[in-house]
């Protein structure tokens, strides 16, 4: 009997994790979801998770592909896999940007595409690369000059401004949100030149020192460092880097599409999470179709490695158009009840012990919709978890989008976030174009289209200051429980969307029922829907 091929991908850098692919299975998770440390490297717990989810063992693995950051891809000896007894011949290194490219193309709906990868930095000084992708394979056609400093790349520049503003470079989403409040026109010099398909940025140093050096050379005042959005000049600096990034990406997309002759654009790397810029890229005349994977940043590296390994092992380029980002495993009712009973085997670690009651609901979606319509803020835990950084209705906190009261309560009582950061709407897919300037699905919350002006005041809780919203379109056939919840809310209120944010409080998004219960107790949620179970404060 022929055994199905089994491959594993591993990311050794920040946002470490593992992915496993067979003919019928794709499972993946980031290490941070298991060890509860944000942006964590590591892969051991993730690999064990994937094997258990697929009911496989180490002996079933035919090939392991591994990527990392640094000057070169990791060697077999550097992976740390041989101590598990995995033969070195079964371990192959993968170029960092090539791994991103595999996630962008193999998970897209397109047969042919231009693949554009833009991030803070990969191997061999890569910050921008592009590929021509067909069913025959991915051909790298070019990228940034290898002699240009990494600091001159789009992603590294955005990271540097994010550091200057007082945040970790992985928190670029805060810079993007803040940018809408500022005026980019105060700084007249461009940050980037795009010559043919190559980017030449103005920064000569990475991180905050690069911004300080730019200020000295140009005379620009970007405000005091570490202001975290409270200084007017720093707000304008955020607007400046966002505006210049958008200009550079549009020019780069047009040039790379012209070079490949392929109008479908597949975009990956951490910069692809910039949903404001992405919404402008998809509207370019040169772009006939647009796709970015939900785990576009290094959270998707392990998955890209696994896709590459499957191609190497079988000779078949895996083309698996993605309908959802739910790469995690399901949890049974027995496992959920274990956590609710505070059974130590559930892994429950309570940061704050709060009295609660729980019961099984006949229709958890209907119950949740009614609670949200009544103004409650609830945790929503259903099915397998999302791989990417956006909560998409598997590990979410949900609230009423109709007023700003819910969003203010989320920021102040539950999420403890900066007040300038917006919350996202999850809208029924067949209603999306009525409420937003959106003519295509956006299931992964990676586009920020304008809200239709005649509807903006009806959903004030999810409209950003610039009139946009980071939209997730929800197809009830793909996500039945979440789709049913929004349909019930639509019936109750006339609004076909809910406010959606990630199920966490300054920690990684919850993965297990025990994580969900611990976070529910530690923050000020009104209730949590964990599988079929409704949990409420006593």
- Over the stretch 474-508, which tens digit does the pLDDT of each residue have? 999 999 999 999 999 999 999 999 999 999 998 99
Question: In 10 A of CB 125, how many CB atoms?
Answer: 16
pLDDT, average across residues 314-338? 97
pLDDT, average across residues 396-424? 94
pLDDT, average across residues 373-384? 98
C-beta separation of 88 from 82 below 8 A: yes
pLDDT, average across residues 286-298? 98
How many whole angstroms from its chain centre is CA 489?
A: 26
> Containing H/E element for 157?
helix 154-164
pLDDT, average across residues 150-174? 97
What Cα–Cα distance (Å) separates residue 193 from each residue in 189, 275, 276, 537? 11, 22, 20, 56
Mind listing the pLDDT tens digit for each residue in 83-136? 888 999 999 999 999 999 999 999 999 999 999 999 999 999 999 999 999 999
Mind listing the pLDDT tens digit for each residue in 506-528? 899 999 999 999 999 999 999 99
186 pLDDT above the threshold of 70: yes
Mind listing the pLDDT tens digit for each residue in 125-159? 999 999 999 999 999 999 999 899 999 999 999 99
2 pLDDT above the threshold of 70: no
- Which pLDDT band, with edges at 50, 70 and 90, does 48 fall under? very high
How many whole angstroms from its chain centre is CA 106?
A: 17
Among 106-120, 265-279, 341-355, 393-407, the least confident range: 341-355
351 pLDDT above the threshold of 90: no
- Cα separation, 429 vs 288, in Å, equals 21
- Percentage of the chain surpassing pLDDT 90? 94
The crossing angle, in degrees rounded to 10, of helices 232-260 and 154-164 is 170
Task: Give the pLDDT of residue 103.
Answer: 98
More confident residue, 273 or 348: 273
- Percentage of the chain surpassing pLDDT 70? 100
Mind listing the pLDDT tens digit for each residue in 453-477? 999 999 999 999 999 999 999 999 9
Mind listing the pLDDT tens digit for each residue in 251-276? 999 999 999 999 999 999 999 999 99
| Helix-, strand-, coil-residue percentages of the chain, each rounded to 5 | 40, 20, 45
C-beta separation of 73 from 93 below 8 A: yes
State the pairing for strand pair 264-268/424-428: unpaired
- Which pLDDT band, with edges at 50, 70 and 90, does 1 fall under? very low
pLDDT, average across residues 16-39? 97
The whole-chain average pLDDT of the chain stands at 96
């Amino acid at each position: 009997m022929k055994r199905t091929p089994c491959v594993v991908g591993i990311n050794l850098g920040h946002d470490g994790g593992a992915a496993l692919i067979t003919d019928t299975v794709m499972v993946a998770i980031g290490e941070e979801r298991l060890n509860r440390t944000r942006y964590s490297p590591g892969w051991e717990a993730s690999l064990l998770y994937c094997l258990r989810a697929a009911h496989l063992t180490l002996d079933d693995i035919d090939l392991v592909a591994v990527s990392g950051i640094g000057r070169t891809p990791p060697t077999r000896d550097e992976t740390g896999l041989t101590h598990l007894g995995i033969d070195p011949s079964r371990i192959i290194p993968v170029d960092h940007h090539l791994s991103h490219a595999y996630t962008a193309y193999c998970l897209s709906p397109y047969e042919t595409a231009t693949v554009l990868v833009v991030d803070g930095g990969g191997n061999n000084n890569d910050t921008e690369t592009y590929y021509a992708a067909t069913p025959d394979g991915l051909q790298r056609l070019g990228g940034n000059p290898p002699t240009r400093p990494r600091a001159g790349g789009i992603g590294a520049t955005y990271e540097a401004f994010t550091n200057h503003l007082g945040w970790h470079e992985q928190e670029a989403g805060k810079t993007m949100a803040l940018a809408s409040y500022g005026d980019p026109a105060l700084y007249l010099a461009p940050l980037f030149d795009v010559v043919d398909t190559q980017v030449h940025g103005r920064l000569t140093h990475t991180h905050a020192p690069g911004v300080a050096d730019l200020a000295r050379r140009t005379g620009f005042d970007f405000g005091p460092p570490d202001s975290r959005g409270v200084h007017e000049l720093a707000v304008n600096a955020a607007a400046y880097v966002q505006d210049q990034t958008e200009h550079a990406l549009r020019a780069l997309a047009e040039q790379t599409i012209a070079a490949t002759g392929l109008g479908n654009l597949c975009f990956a790397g951490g910069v692809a999470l910039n949903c404001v810029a992405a919404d402008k890229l998809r509207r370019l005349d040169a772009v006939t179709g647009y796709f970015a994977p939900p785990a576009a940043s290094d959270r998707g590296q392990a998955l890209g490695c696994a896709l590459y390994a499957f191609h190497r092992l079988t000779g078949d380029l895996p083309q698996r158009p993605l309908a959802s980002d739910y790469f995690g495993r399901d949890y049974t009712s027995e496992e959920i009840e274990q956590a609710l009973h505070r059974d130590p085997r559930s892994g429950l670690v309570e940061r704050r012990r709060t009295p609660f009651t729980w019961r099984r609901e006949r229709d958890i979606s209907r119950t949740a919709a009614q609670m949200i319509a009544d103004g409650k803020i609830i945790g929503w835990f259903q099915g397998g978890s999302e791989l990417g950084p956006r909560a998409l209705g598997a590990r979410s906190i949900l609230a009423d989008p109709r007023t700003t009261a819910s969003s203010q309560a989320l920021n102040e009582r539950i999420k403890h976030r900066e007040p300038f950061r917006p919350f996202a709407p999850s809208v029924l897919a067949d209603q999306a174009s009525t409420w937003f300037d959106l003519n295509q699905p956006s299931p992964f919350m990676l586009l920020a289209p304008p809200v239709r002006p005649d509807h903006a005041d009806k959903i004030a809780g999810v409209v950003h200051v610039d009139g946009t919203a980071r939209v997730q379109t929800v197809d009830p056939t793909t996500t039945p429980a979440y789709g049913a919840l929004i349909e019930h809310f639509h019936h109750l209120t006339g609004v076909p969307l809910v406010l959606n944010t990630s199920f966490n409080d300054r920690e990684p998004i919850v993965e297990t029922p025990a994580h969900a219960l611990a976070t529910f107790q530690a923050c000020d949620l009104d209730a949590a829907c964990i599988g079929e179970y409704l949990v409420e404060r006593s």
